Each structure stands twice: as C-alpha cells, then as structure tokens.
C-alpha cells in the first residue's frame, strides 16, 4: 500500500510560513479597520476592503468608537457629487488622489486613505460639523470614476478639473467661476477656491 506523503518539516519553535502570513495579514487588516473607523468609514466599506468577518468588524467598531455602527445603505447615486459644494470638495479629493497615484505604486484603499487625510488637511470641517466629503463617499466616488459613471473636465475659465457626467458638454464652466447665487460670496467659498487652486 502506498504511503501517505509527509508534511514538510518545520523547525522546532517556528510556525509554518502560511500561518505566519495569515496572522500578519490579519494584524494588518485589523489596523486598517481601526484607521478606517476613526476616519468615519461605514461598515460596508470595510466588508468590501478587508477579509475580516462582519462580527469581528462590529466588535472592533464598538471598541474603537464606543457604539454600534450606523445602519442603512451606502450612497449609490452620482447626483450628490454634481451639486455645488460637494462637487468642489469631491473634485479636490480627486486631484489629490491623482497626484499621489502618479508618485507611488500603491493602489486601492491605502492610497484613498492617504488622499483623504490630505483632503482633511486642506478642508478641515468646521467645529462640531462633519466633513463635507466623508471617507465613505470618497471611496464610492473612486468606484464611480472607475466604472465611468463620472469623469472630470477642465473648466474653460480657471483650467481646474471638476467632476461631471461623462456626457458633459465641452464648454464646461465650474461652480467656482460661476458661483450660484444661493452660495453667497462668503469666506468659506474663497477658502474653497484657494484650496482647489493649490491642488
């Protein structure tokens, strides 16, 4: 009778390589989950970007933020990104993301997180308020761009690039060069203009 194949020998005191990689990957994903929760990420984002179980993610969320994760669906419409103020903030994030992407080999959620942190430095939320662009919306935005549901166009006045629908017209004028009357000429508007000009 043929003998069973022997398992590869492992030196005493050493774990198999596969197990070590699995443990290291779990540690990395756990730290990523903690960072994402602290930046305001929704549970569904982490389910898509990590291999951690839903129960594990819920326990992590409660431990990090001291409460249960919010329920409800993720944003699924491109319309929000085309309204005046969100378009400015989302376009700034895309500009930062593209600059980072051009200078690194990193991809996926890691570069999104780096770009989002830089976005928050440029556009910090007002005290007691959430950022205009949440991390979950920023992540969703990159998926919309990747599936060609949104694209960018250069404003014919300031030459900055802004988010538009793929079938947007060529003579595009951005919402900063043609500010809607409802927006007002506030200090906040001017700060947003300056931030986007620096991107």
Q: Domain of 135? A: 79-198
By percentage, how much of the chain surpasses pLDDT 90?
59
Segment 9-63, tens digit of pLDDT: 445 555 554 455 588 888 999 999 999 999 999 999 999 999 999 999 999 999 9
- For the segment 132-172, what is each residue's pLDDT rounded down to a tens digit? 999 999 999 999 999 999 999 999 999 899 999 998 667 88
- Does residue 5 lie within any of the structural domains? no
pLDDT at residue 7, as a whole number? 47
Within this chain, do residues 123 and 95 fall inside the same structural domain, yes or no?
yes
Six-digit token pair at 145?
A: 């761009």
Would the pTM of this model clear 0.75, i.e. be above it?
yes
**pLDDT, averaged across the chain:** 84
B/e letters for 6-34, b = 16+ CB within 10 Å, e = fewer, are eeeeeeeeeeeeeeeeeeeeeeebeebbe
Residue 194 in domain = yes
User: In this structure, are 102 and 162 located in the same domain?
Assistant: yes
Q: For residue 156, how far is the Cα from the chain centroid?
A: 28
- 94 in any annotated domain: yes
In a domain, 3, yes or no: no
Is the domain of 26 the same as that of 60? yes
Q: Is residue 1 part of a domain?
A: no
- B/e letters for 61-95, b = 16+ CB within 10 Å, e = fewer, are beeeeeeebeeeeebeebeebbeeebbbbbbbbbb
In a domain, 10, yes or no: no
- Per the domain annotation, does 169 fall within a domain? yes
Are 165 and 95 members of one domain? yes
Same-domain pairing of 190 and 109: yes
Chain centroid, CA 42 distance in Å: 11
- Amino acid 10: pLDDT: 47
Mean predicted confidence (pLDDT) in 169-195: 69
- Closest CA relative to residue 30, chosen from 52, 45, 63, 47: 52
pLDDT value for 149: 94
């Amino acid at each position: 009778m043929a003998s069973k194949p022997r398992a590869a020998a492992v030196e005493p005191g050493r774990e198999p390589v596969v197990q070590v990689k699995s443990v290291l990957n779990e540690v990395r994903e756990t730290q990523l989950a903690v960072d994402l929760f602290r930046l305001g990420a929704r549970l569904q984002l982490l389910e898509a970007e990590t291999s951690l179980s839903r129960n594990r993610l819920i326990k992590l969320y409660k431990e990090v933020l001291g409460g249960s994760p919010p329920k409800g669906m993720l944003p699924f419409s491109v319309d929000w990104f085309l309204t005046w103020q969100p378009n400015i903030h989302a376009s700034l994030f895309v500009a930062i993301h593209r600059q980072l992407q051009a200078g690194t080999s990193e991809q996926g959620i890691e570069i999104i997180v780096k770009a989002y942190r830089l976005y928050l430095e440029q556009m910090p939320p007002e005290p007691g308020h959430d950022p205009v662009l949440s991390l979950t919306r920023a992540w969703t935005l990159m998926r919309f761009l990747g599936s060609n549901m949104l694209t960018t166009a250069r404003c014919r006045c300031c030459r900055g690039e802004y988010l538009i629908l793929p079938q947007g017209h060529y003579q595009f004028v951005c919402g900063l060069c043609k500010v809607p009357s409802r927006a007002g000429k506030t200090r906040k508007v001017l700060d947003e203009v300056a931030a986007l000009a620096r991107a």
